[in-house]
Amino acid sequence: MAYEELSKNIIKNVGGKDNVASVVHCTTRLRFKLKDEKKADDSAMKATDGVISVVKSGGQYQVVIGNNVADVYDTLIKVGGFSDGGSVPDDYVDKSNMSILDKFIDLISSIFTPILGPLCATGMIKGFNAMFVAFGWLKATDGTYIILNSIGDSIFYFLPVILGITAARKFKVDIIVGAAIGAALCYPSIVALNSSKTTLFTLFKGTLFQSPIHTTFLKIPVIMMNYTSSVIPIIAAVWFASKVQKLAKKWIPEVVKTFLVPFTVLLITVPITFLVIGPISTWLGNAISAICVGVYNISPVLAGILMGAFWQVFVMFGVHWSFTAISMANFARMGYDPIVSLMFGASFAQTGVVLAMIFQTRNEKTKSIAIPAFISGIFGVTEPAIYGLTLPRKKPFILSCIGGAIGGAILGFFKSKLWSMAGMGVFLLPGFIGKNGFDKPLYGAIIAMVVSFIAGVILQFLFGKKSVDEPLDAEAVETAGATSIQADSMSHSNATVVEPEISYNQATKLSSPLTGTIVPLADIKDEVFSSGAMGQGVAIEPSVGEVIAPADATVQMVFPTGHAVGLTTDDGAEILIHIGMDTVQLDGKGFETLVKKGDHVTAGQLLVKFDIDTIKDAKLEVTTPIIITNTKNYHEVKTVATGKINQKDELLELK
């Protein structure tokens, strides 16, 4: 089974199957909710082959996989034996330490994640249909146009029904009941009442909440709203339904629960929604939309600069989900969204930086990561570029944010707006085609896309070249992994970062733990080691299958599979000896570990025996990196030998 070993390692590193409350996936990430996040092994997860990074945000433990995340997810579900598509009751998740912002992000992402793909797909169809009319290929009265438009409008028009299902899953309501509540909001007679010419009387006359009353329920006036394409009313209604359902299940006899529970929930929830929940939540949504658009109208260019510059940061922290809710509110209130459209140039700026890096790098491993990252970036999937290339090197990421700000300024200047939730990257372009067809705002979006991309290329060529093949310092790698991003860090994201003062270790020398041939670290095939991401050091192509201690040390880590050992010498050097490349796949076959964590060993003591032929028969590399993982605590890590080397020969000098 493809990705079986990777799935096993991921499950192990999140604390085992029993620690998983639920797991879903987005474009590039496995999104876990863990019962106890402290049980997850961040370091082991980051070191797992096939894992790009780890992000903790929004109450989720996010494992960044890349473009093949869907296949990994399918395998993970089978290997882990997770039922119900990887989702289990939310009650198992400990939310006591989640901030209000985290809970909001968790709520929005849980409800919207399942529908974003189809929603973007229908938005693209709607955009292309508008383009066909603009080109004169179709008329608005043609059957082809009407059928295509029905696809384009289907999800958004009946959004309360779709969100009724996803919200029901989130709030643990019967999903058919959730759909029924949404369907009631979109019922044709209800929609017709909102535009009825018959007005019984007017409530709140002369205020912002003035409401003509067209009908009553049990003689109680009903403030009618247009609930098609709405978001907040159905989410609030299903939340209310979850409370009613809980009480109904408590009091209704078991023998009649099957039909009396949904009967009770619908009979109470739907009228209450039309009488109270719907009007209040609609006013709230309109107010949020109006405030955001009002801020935008003060200076569209400034708004564009800020959104373009920080959009990728928002995505990293999961805060972009807040803008998804705002965007939906804008679509429902105005039929278009001018806010999220401002981020359109950000992915192209990132992609432009990556293209420049492809031409700048001399490292084949960097290039092998950059080329697929560039391709996926064109289509709006930038996580491989961010976590694998630009963020670890810092400057390229900053340059991409500047390029995104330039694109955002152009979008603001042209007042480009989205008329539908289309795809990502180039596939978002049809979403800018509105009722006016090919107009100035659309051309502005095209210009922003091109300029952002070119800006990314030029900025990287001018200012980012030196950072491409430089060793990655420990702080940058930690930032890329984002393992230090905790839920409460978002509330301090504007704080000034103070660089810690480095305390350098005393100079020391290390002998060779292997017999074989020395290989420069930059020449090995694994990008994590060759780039210096784990630290400086050297590699050895072993001719004898034995690893000995290079100095007196304490064993800090021994992988269960025996393929890696971590030591801390008595002089303070932290050493990782990783036997071969991808040898974790052997699951311990061919390895014999002779020490355990916590043991104190002396220089020359045998640590691990391994069979070179077993590794080679599995078509795996036997080249073994010896890494000083606390390189930052030394002025220099110098290899003092070349060519052939024997165990106990002097290998590294740490100054």
Q: Which domains does the chain have, with CATH numbers?
A: 4-97 (3.30.1360.60), 158-293 (no CATH), 299-319+334-481 (no CATH), 508-654 (2.70.70.10)
pLDDT value of residue 546: 94
Residues 149-165 have a mean pLDDT of 90
Helices (H) then strands (E): counts for the chain: 23, 22
Asked whether the beta carbons of 491 and 99 are under 8 A apart, the reply is yes
Q: Which residue has the higher pLDDT, 108 or 49?
A: 49
pLDDT band at 95 (very low <50, low <70, confident <90, very high): low
Residue 588: what residue type? G
Asked whether the beta carbons of 9 and 72 are under 8 A apart, the reply is no
Check if 120 is active-site: no
Question: In Å, what is the CA distance from 538 to each residue of 531, 578, 607, 612?
Answer: 12, 11, 19, 19
pLDDT value of residue 493: 34
pLDDT value of residue 471: 55
Instruction: Write down the residue that tokens 């909440």 correspond to.
Output: 209
Q: Where are the alpha helices (DSSP H) in 394-538?
A: 395-414, 440-463, 465-468, 474-481, 527-530
Q: Which residue has the higher pLDDT, 108 or 486?
A: 108
pLDDT value of residue 109: 72
Asked whether the beta carbons of 444 and 410 are under 8 A apart, the reply is yes
CA distance 128 to 98: 42
Give first-to-last CA distance, the chain, whole Å.
47
pLDDT value of residue 560: 77
- The share of the chain scoring above pLDDT 70, in percent, equals 88
pLDDT value of residue 87: 47
Greatest mean pLDDT among 105-114, 207-216, 265-274, 359-368: 265-274
Q: Which DSSP letter does residue 195 get?
A: T
Record the tokens describing residue 432, joined without a space. Answer: 């800018």
> Is residue 404 pLDDT above 90, yes or no?
yes
pLDDT band at 110 (very low <50, low <70, confident <90, very high): confident
Burial 184-221 (b: 16+ CB within 10 A, else e): bbbeeebeeeeeeeeeeeeeeeeeeeebbbbeeeeeeb
Q: Which residue has the higher pLDDT, 107 or 486?
A: 107
> Is residue 104 pLDDT above 60, yes or no?
yes
Instruction: Please provide the size of the chain in residues.
Output: 655
Report the range of poorest mean pLDDT among 40-54, 423-437, 603-617: 423-437
pLDDT value of residue 510: 93
Strand partners, 511: 650
Record the tokens describing residue 582, joined without a space. Answer: 């991808």
Question: In Å, what is the CA distance from 511 to each residue of 123, 326, 522, 554, 578?
Answer: 63, 60, 20, 16, 16
Record the tokens describing residue 646, joined without a space. Answer: 């024997």
- The share of the chain scoring above pLDDT 90, in percent, equals 37
pLDDT value of residue 487: 31
> Is residue 490 pLDDT above 50, yes or no?
no
Residues 205-221 have a mean pLDDT of 86
Residues 6+ apart with CB under 8 A from 290: 333
Q: Which residue has the higher pLDDT, 641 or 324?
A: 641
pLDDT value of residue 453: 96
Residues 227-239 have a mean pLDDT of 90
pLDDT value of residue 241: 96
pLDDT band at 489 (very low <50, low <70, confident <90, very high): very low
pLDDT band at 491 (very low <50, low <70, confident <90, very high): very low
pLDDT value of residue 386: 81
pLDDT in tens, 493-504: 333 333 344 457
Asked whether the beta carbons of 47 and 527 are under 8 A apart, the reply is no
Q: What is the largest CA-CA distance in the chain?
A: 97
pLDDT value of residue 239: 95
Please return the burial class of 611, using the count of CB atoms within 10 Å of its CB with bins 0-12, 13-18 and 19+: middle
pLDDT band at 551 (very low <50, low <70, confident <90, very high): very high
> Is residue 174 pLDDT above 90, yes or no?
yes
> Is residue 96 pLDDT above 70, yes or no?
no
Q: Which of 26, 186, 292, 401 is catalytic?
A: 26
Record the tokens describing residue 444, joined without a space. Answer: 């502005």
pLDDT band at 129 (very low <50, low <70, confident <90, very high): confident
Residues 314-334 have a mean pLDDT of 74
Record the tokens describing residue 29, joined without a space. Answer: 């990430």
Please return the burial class of 114, using the count of CB atoms within 10 Å of its CB with bins 0-12, 13-18 and 19+: middle
Residues 489-496 have a mean pLDDT of 34
> Is residue 99 pLDDT above 90, yes or no?
no
> Is residue 608 pLDDT above 50, yes or no?
yes
In three-state secondary structure terms, 353 is: helix
> Is residue 57 pLDDT above 70, yes or no?
no
Q: Which residue has the higher pLDDT, 500 or 328?
A: 328
Q: How many CA atoms lie within 13 A of 583 on its CB side?
A: 29
pLDDT band at 488 (very low <50, low <70, confident <90, very high): very low
Record the tokens describing residue 121, joined without a space. Answer: 């797909």
> Is residue 647 pLDDT above 90, yes or no?
yes
CA distance 49 to 366: 16
Residue 584: what residue type? V
Q: What is the mean pLDDT of the chain?
A: 83
CA distance 563 to 556: 14
Q: How crowded is residue 565: how many other Cβ atoms within 10 Å of its Cβ?
A: 26
Greatest mean pLDDT among 78-82, 85-89, 544-548: 544-548
Record the tokens describing residue 330, joined without a space. Answer: 């804008």
